[in-house]
Amino acid sequence: MRLIPVLNLVHVVAAFWFVSGVIGRGIVLRAAARAVDVRAADALVRVAGHFEAMVRIPSIVVVGFGLLSAWRGGWPILGFLQGGSVNWILASLVLSLTLVPLIVWVFLPRGRVFEEALRNALEEGRVTPALTAAFHDPVVAAGHVWELIVIALVVALMVTKPF
């Protein structure tokens, strides 16, 4: 078997796994945010954690195998920066890299705030205003919307290869 189809297959399977994790996490966290019992919210947050695991490693695998596939296939990964005429791979890479600052400056620090609010709510035995606020953090929500937009744009670029 040739290497490029195998690289492409791993890339696509990891992408399906990643997108499933993103969607599953969002659905479960929305349900957790609506829970009136803090123990139910906690259980749903734990389920969302399993979906989060489907996002972390596969996101790296998607990018890594995408780059390997492009390189082995002779596609110019850096497009015009390396004198190539194909730029959709570069655009996809740049879009994907915009998620890194979100992870570092939004998702991780606000995740710690969320964990503390959940821990305190569990100690009190009720859904607290702090937990409700953490569930409805507009910055985190905007980050997740951007994440979905990036996914949609990268898929569109990969399928249409417009430039």
**What pLDDT digit, counting tens, does each position of 59-100 carry?**
999 999 999 999 998 999 999 999 999 999 999 999 999 999
What's residue 1's pLDDT?
61
Instruction: Count CB neighbours of 123 within 10 A.
Output: 10
Which pTM value belongs to this model? 0.89
Backbone phi, then psi, for 2, in 5-degree steps?
-75, 155
Q: Residue 75 and residue 70: Cα distance in Å, rounded?
A: 5
How far is Cα 113 from Cα 133, in angstroms, rounded to an integer?
10
The whole domain housing 12 covers 3-160
- Cα 139 to Cα 145: distance, rounded to the nearest angstrom: 10
Number of domains within the chain: 1
Phi-psi region of 139 (alpha: psi -120 to 50; beta: other; left: phi over 0): alpha
Query: Rounded mean pLDDT of the chain?
Result: 96
